[in-house]
Amino acid sequence: MNKIYNPKPETWSSILERPTKTVDDIEATVKGIFKEVQSKGDFAVAKYTSLFDGASVPELEVSQTEIATAIASISKELKEAILLAKSNIEKFHLAQKTNRIEVETIEGVNCWQEKRPIQKIGLYIPGGTAPLFSTVLMLAVPANLAGCSEIVLCSPPDKNGNINPAILYAAYLCGVTKILKVGGIQAIAGMTFGTVSIPKVYKIFGPGNQFVTVAKQLATQFGVAIDMPAGPSELLIVADDTAVPAFVASDLLSQAEHGTDSQVILVSTSKTLIDEVEKEVQSQLDVLPRKGIAEKAIANSKLIYVENDKIALELIDEYGPEHFIICTKDEDFYVQNIGNAGSVFIGNYTPESAGDYASGTNHTLPTNGYAKNYSGVNLDSFTKSMTFQKITPKGIQNIGKAIEVMAEAEGLQAHKNAVTLRLKALSDKQ
């Protein structure tokens, strides 16, 4: 890992740069596949599934028989773990429900706001070397709680044309309405345009690699909303001498093993801790099954020493981490003042893995600095806020003059007339 001591603020942007390709590097590929899926539908999807996943999939939709077989193959221990996680995720997201908000802004003018579900939801679940069945829980649970009527799930098949059984089990548990064996850019394009097999959706959720991230952003140009620009995973830990080096190293590696383009950073006010964590990282890395992946991610990562908590906080806010772990004596300083982070984990016994799986918070979070302006997925992500109003004769009399004056000042005579006619009708009745 790269050690950096007391970096000057003017160097922070370069030091904290993510190891990701620019959009320009991959946008042409994404646009080309989008165009082909838009014009050729399932034929193009099959072509790119064969090219990228090495799989031939005669039927894109997962059958009930396949789901039943998957459920039977899952161990009791894993089923119990998934059920525990699902329960905690449900509790946390159910608590986010809000009631109708109603107010009489002036006598006779009643306004209210209600939440309504987004009807057609698309979920993208990465497969490959790390089939993220936990992401199914994180997305399908709140989608169901919100009342979304159509929940479509796309996940890349393996070489044999199958989706990981745990993904199918989690999807079954959470009420996913259609599961499709398709991944990558072609999955996002399919849910954007719709094909014979893949329904068109209104909003797409889920993490993915840089190609999926760009594909989701391109989907917004065709009237489809997305949760956020969520790309390669990242973690920043702030720690001092009160932190346990082995714990800190394990958290850094837990994110590094996600992918070669993941990034992990340690910011510390202790040079001793930095040295101890570096040794622990190497020791723990050597025994990891995904050592090759984690090793490449670690090469992109940083160990940064700063003199005090104030400087550390400023640097962390500049980075805007997806995951932020606090292991310091004065943890309240960071908890109360952090402005930019997707999800925050506090104390030596709160690993980031807890949020990834079973504590209850959502692990679908903004990366690449988007924590500065995006929230992580929550219950409201699956709803729309609709406003309503009902005005009585007394109400239109109370605000009518103001509307007329404002409309006339903007040069919108028809707006003014819509009020004037009503006021005159009421005046004629008196």
3-state helix, strand, coil in the chain (%, to 5): 50, 15, 35
Which residue among 36, 276, 322, 352 is the active-site one? 322
209 is in an annotated binding site: yes
323 is in an annotated binding site: yes
258 is in an annotated binding site: yes
Q: What is the DSSP secondary-structure string of 293-329?
A: HHHHHHHT-EEEE-SSHHHHHHHHHHH--SEEEEEST
Q: What is the CA radius of gyration of the chain?
A: 26
**49-77: b or e for each residue (b if 16 or more CB lie within 10 Å)?**
beeebebebeebebeeebbeebeeebeee
In angstroms, the CA 290 to CA 393 distance is 70
Whether 322 is a known active-site residue: answer: yes
348 is in an annotated binding site: no
Please name which of 113, 103, 100, 106 lies closest in space to residue 392, comparing C-alpha atoms. 106
Contact 331, 349 (CB under 8 A): no
Contact 195, 42 (CB under 8 A): yes
284 is in an annotated binding site: no
* Crossing angle of the two packed helices 23-40 and 42-53, in degrees rounded to 10: 140
Which residue among 93, 234, 280, 323 is the active-site one? 323
Please name which of 155, 165, 91 lies closest in space to residue 122, comparing C-alpha atoms. 155
Read off the amino acid at residue 152: V
124 is in an annotated binding site: yes
Classify residue 224 by burial, with Cβ atoms within 10 Å: 0-12, 13-18, 19+.
buried
For residue 303, list its beta bridge partners. Answer: 3, 266
Count of other CB atoms within 10 angstroms of residue 275: 13
Pairing of strands 203-205, 120-124: parallel
Encoding tokens for residue 88?
A: 């905690």
DSSP H helices in 41-150: 42-53, 64-73, 76-94, 133-146
Greatest C-alpha distance within the chain: 88
Strand segments, DSSP code E, in 156-197 are: 178-181
Residues in the annotated binding site for substrate: 233, 255, 258, 323, 356, 410, 415
Residues in the annotated binding site: 124, 186, 209, 233, 255, 258, 323, 356, 410, 415
Residues in the annotated binding site for NAD(+): 124, 186, 209
Residues in the annotated binding site for Zn(2+): 255, 258, 356, 415
Catalytic positions are 322-323
